[in-house]
A and B are shown apart, each in its own frame.
Chain A
Amino acid sequence: MRARELDLSLRNEALPLISKLRQLNFGLMLTLTLVACVGFAMLYSAAGGAWEPWAARQMLRFAIGFVIMIAIAVTDIRLWWRLAYAAYALALVLLIGVEIAGEISGGAQRWIDLGPLQIQPSEVMKIALVLTLARYYHGIPFAEVNRIVYLVPPLLLVALPAALVLKQPDLGTAVLIGAGAVAMMFVAGVRVRYFAIAGMGGLGLLPIAWQFLRDYQKKRILTFMDPESDPLGAGYHIMQSKIALGSGGVFGKGFLGGTQGHLNFLPEKQTDFIFTMLAEEFGMVGALVLLGLYLTLLAYGVAIALRCQHHFGRLVAYGVITTLFLYVFINIAMVTGLIPVVGVPLPLVSYGGTAMMTLLIAFGLLMNAHVHRDVRLSRHGTLPEA
């Protein structure tokens, strides 16, 4: 009964802000905050038991990002629907912009510096692509999904930014963008056969792709194969990370007790390798608890996607949660030495303002899909006429 009322009021767009706020997914927000708190604790430890320079700033960012997340969640979903393509276009322009700036300054360029604000176009693209693909598949009839004509636009939409990011070069983000898009196309109904063909083709292109990798990227992959071959060079990160993990054991060395982290043997302990630090100080138990929290987030995301009444919301929710999962998987697999070091942070835990903001904006969109789950969104993004 109550759902129906809500439904009606939503359709009439008369849902007051307070009602929308009550629709927020508090379980998801709690889990999110718990994960972030793990991050604060580890950043506090990484600084040798100090709030500065990382933990305090990270908390501030989280607080700001959290408010933004809620604001995004309660904003009318149609606004995001409308902005999707524009956001993609903007992200693409920014990506090309840094590419040109990089050419001029003669080095890898990933940032756009706007004084106090630094924008990483690839981060913007992650969100924009999710929105864009969601809007695209929302707008075409299900029967048409597997027609070649309808397959080309999404492929281009993915390939363009992925290629630009790869050229930066940022292999990790390129993989994230590509894999996220593939997942979205899969749940949108693209035939498994096509993925199989694309997969075979990709495998065939691998030797050619190898040629395009930068030397340091090749080296990372080679050292990944045999990290002990170069313990002080490129294999150092993996080796030290494994030592930290292994020496942590089941229950860890205790909070602030990690020698590998505190004595700086662990590289980039406050960013990409923060999971290692956690696993050193809290052992396998601590690592599994954090993994469990991420899987809880995944479950929330999937549930929201399944519950959503419109395709746009479903795809946005699924795209966001898939991106999160990919982050987590790639980061943990990387620091445990399962895959090469690609430079992907651990979401909500690693120190870094842009990643934190990107993730909270993405979660804002995920919760937006949750808040607006019962809205009837037409193919053209409008509410059907009453």
Chain B
Amino acid sequence: MRTDADRRKSFTRRATLLAGGKLLLAAPLAARLYYLQVQQSDQYTTLAEDNRINLRLLPPPRGRLLDRFGEPIATNQQNYRVVIVSEQTRSVEATLDALARLVEIDDHGRRRVLREVKRKRAFVPITVRDNLTWAEVARIEINAPDLPGVTIDVGLSRHYPFAASAAHVTGYVAPPSEAELTGDPLLELPDFRIGKNGVEKTFDERLRGKAGSLQVEVNAFGRVIRELTRREGARGQDHMLTLDMRLQEGIAQRLGDDSAAVALMDVTDGSVLALVSTPGYDPSAFNKGLSHAHWRELSTNPRAPLVNKPIAGQYPPGSTYKTIVALAALESGMSPSFTVSCPGYFDMGSHVFHCWKQGGHGSVDMHEGLVQSCDVYFYEVARRLGIDRIAEMSRRFGLGQPTGIELPGERGGLIPSREWKQAVTGISWQQGDTVNIGIGQGYITTTPLQLALATARIANGGFAITPRLTRPSAGAEPPSRIAGVSDASLAFVRRAMGNVTNSQRGTAYRSRIPEPEFAMAGKTGTVQVRQISKAERATRLRKNDEKPWVERDHALFIGFAPVERPRFAVAVVVEHGGGGPAAAAPIARDVLRDVQRRAPSYATVAGA
């Protein structure tokens, strides 16, 4: 019993001591709580808010592109897509099977969905198919009770109602590439698109708008629990273009699958009414994501549907250039009555240049030289003028340099000079080069838009308008008068151009506009793509339709209308279309007739 008493005494002492120790251990716990919950509370409160509040961007709807009447060229279409939330389904596979009975889901799409289901969190919606038709949406909605986890989601996608007709003007939108990311988080949103080409690219910033923001409460997995605050952004501004889409579409249809370019502008202010490049492409395809096969087809097509030919196609101007050569001659003091005898060829001694007309035109003055497009006349004129004066006049009319139209990818063309040839080829300028330039062949290249611009400047009495797709703001400076070109010279060239179409001797008489109030003036051009060999010339000249497509001549036409007090200028290039009079002039005629018929409506809009 003695030991038991000792044992109890010892136990009591030690147990009490240890209990005290435990109390002492509880003290740091309380102290720690005080430290965290009182002293550091503010800091941790901030961290807790950071944890739970997530800032999301609300992508603004992109501004629309409109034609001069407000007709939409690029809009945002509601894109209905069917999405699946895997955690709400009983089985993703079974749900996909059920869905496949209502809308078509291909194997590729099905595999992609199953892959994404594995990779993403169970509450993240996964798109099964987008761009659903109304009928498909309706079928899914009706069967909704049998499809848990399946919902219809609406997004905005860029839509181009005129499809290929204005593709090269509008350009297209697509997700930004790595290089285009600027750190703006808006660009990193999965659905966000930026302008990649055309006006979509030029005015991208304005069209884009300002992003709104959304504060949401999220849980640790990023699932949105509720919306806290929403700040609406600003939708992108609509952008009105000077195009007349009815006209544009009509021209595109008229050109069909030909590889061709048409530029039509108002000569008074340079506003572009139509800028057509064919064949076109559907810009919406880029938005949805172009398939590899589709891309290959577009990029390897010999008719180059991706090239914006009116501004990036560079062609020798051919005989249309004779108008500029004539102006240079007149301004150099040459009399319009200067006469050359055309035997059908022009002998330079070292080389013989041919006229398009075998047998020659006989005695020709400047007016007839233009009307009948006599090559020999302009060989002689060019020889007398020299390249410098011709080049100088070309530049005054906007040739050989970018026009500055609001489109990316514009090319300058080339007005060759002595220095240029020396630098590029290492050979000095030859008189033969000048002679060739006299008929718009050789080193010289221009874009169809430049040709339309030069024509417009001739037609408007020498005012330095520039082509543009956007209506100028009020109070913009009126165009200045081009120096070094007299009204008389311009009037002479205009009269000659009038006779190209309206005189029976004219090369485009067959394409005249018979209604006197709509009558057009113009100049044809036919550009050899391939040098005609001596042997060929000796035996027999092949007709264009006997040659393979790529060897056929380019057909060109520049024109304006009405002949008196011109209002519109046009340039038409049909690649490998054959002769200008046959292939290009009729197109120009139709375009100018249509635009004049529609002209009264432009005035009312202009006032508005």
Contact = CB atoms under 8 A, between A and B. Distances in A.
> Is this pair of chains taken from one and the same complex?
yes
Interface of A: 141-143, 183, 186-189, 240, 242-250, 259-260, 262-265, 279, 283-284, 287-288, 291, 295, 298-299, 302, 305-306, 311, 314, 318, 322, 325, 329, 332-333, 336-338
B34 A284 contact: yes
A84 to B, nearest CB: 18
Given A259-B51, A263-B51, A247 B41 contact: yes
8 contacts: A279-B37, A284-B34, A295-B26, A302-B16, A306-B12, A314-B11, A322-B22, A338-B29
A71 to B, nearest CB: 27
Contacts of B47: 243, 246-247
A245 B40 CA distance: 10
B218 interface: yes
A245 B44 contact: yes
A187 B26 contact: no
Given A142-B4, A187-B18, A260 B51 contact: yes
Nearest to A249: B41
Contact of A291 (B18, B29, B48, B52): B29
Contact of A243 (B11, B25, B29, B44): B44
B19 interface: yes
Contacts of B34: 284
Contacts of B6: 142
A260 to B, nearest CB: 6
B23 interface: yes
Contacts of A243: 44, 47-48, 51
Interface in B1-44: 3-4, 6-8, 10-12, 14-16, 18-19, 22-23, 25-26, 28-30, 32-34, 36-38, 40-41, 43-44
A240 B29 CA distance: 18
B220 interface: yes
B98 interface: no
**Ordered nearest first, which 6 A-B pairs have the shortest CB separation?**
A246-B44, A247-B48, A263-B219, A264-B220, A142-B7, A284-B37
Contact of B219 (A183, A265, A291, A325): A265
B105 interface: no
B3 A141 contact: yes
A230 B225 CA distance: 27
A291 B30 contact: yes
Of the four ranges (under 10, 10 to 19, 20 to 34, 35 or more), the interface on chain B belongs to 35 or more
A373 B606 CA distance: 108
Contacts of B32: 333, 336-338
A189 B14 contact: yes
A332 B4 contact: no
Contacts of A188: 11
B134 interface: no
Contact of B3 (A142, A187, A244, A314): A142
B217 interface: yes
Contacts of A314: 8, 11, 15
A246 B36 contact: yes
Nearest to A287: B33
B299 interface: no
B10 A249 contact: no
A311 B38 CA distance: 45
B45 interface: yes
A187 B7 CA distance: 10
Contact of B40 (A246, A259, A265, A322): A246
A189 B11 contact: yes
A279 B12 CA distance: 35
A337 B44 CA distance: 14
B365 to A, nearest CB: 88
A133 B58 CA distance: 68
B15 A318 contact: yes
A314 B32 CA distance: 33
Determine which residue in A259, A291, A314 has the highest number of CB atoms from chain B within 10 A of its CB, and name it: A259
A329 B30 CA distance: 11
Nearest to A283: B37
Contacts of A329: 22, 25-26, 29
With most chain A CB atoms within 10 A of its CB, the pick from B36, B44, B51 is B36
A106 B219 CA distance: 35
A244 B4 contact: no
A221 B193 CA distance: 48
Given A141-B3, A242-B44, A264-B219, A287 B14 contact: no
A322 B11 CA distance: 14
Contact of B30 (A189, A242, A249, A288): A288
B41 A246 contact: yes
Contacts of A336: 29, 32-33, 36
Contact of A186 (B3, B14, B26, B30): B14
Most buried by B among A141, A142, A264, A322: A142
Contacts of A263: 51-52, 217-220, 225
A265 B51 contact: yes
Given A287-B37, A338-B28, A298 B218 contact: no
A236 to B, nearest CB: 9
Nearest to B41: A249
A329 B19 CA distance: 13
Contacts of A333: 28-29, 32
A311 B37 contact: no
A229 to B, nearest CB: 16
Nearest to B19: A302
B205 to A, nearest CB: 36
Contacts of A305: 11, 15
B18 A246 contact: no
A244 B219 contact: no
Given A247-B45, A247-B48, A186 B18 contact: yes
A182 to B, nearest CB: 10
Interface in B92-116: none
B339 to A, nearest CB: 90
Interface in B261-309: none
B278 to A, nearest CB: 56
B48 A244 contact: yes
Given A259-B51, A263-B220, A295-B26, 17 more contacts: A142-B3, A187-B11, A245-B44, A246-B48, A247-B41, A249-B38, A263-B52, A265-B48, A284-B33, A284-B34, A287-B37, A298-B22, A306-B11, A329-B26, A329-B29, A333-B32, A338-B32
A244 B518 CA distance: 82
Contacts of B36: 242, 245-246, 336-337
A141 B10 CA distance: 13
A150 B547 CA distance: 116
Contacts of B221: 264
A263 B4 CA distance: 58
Contacts of B4: 142, 311
A228 to B, nearest CB: 11
A261 B12 CA distance: 43
Given A259-B48, A264-B219, A189 B33 contact: no
B23 A295 contact: yes
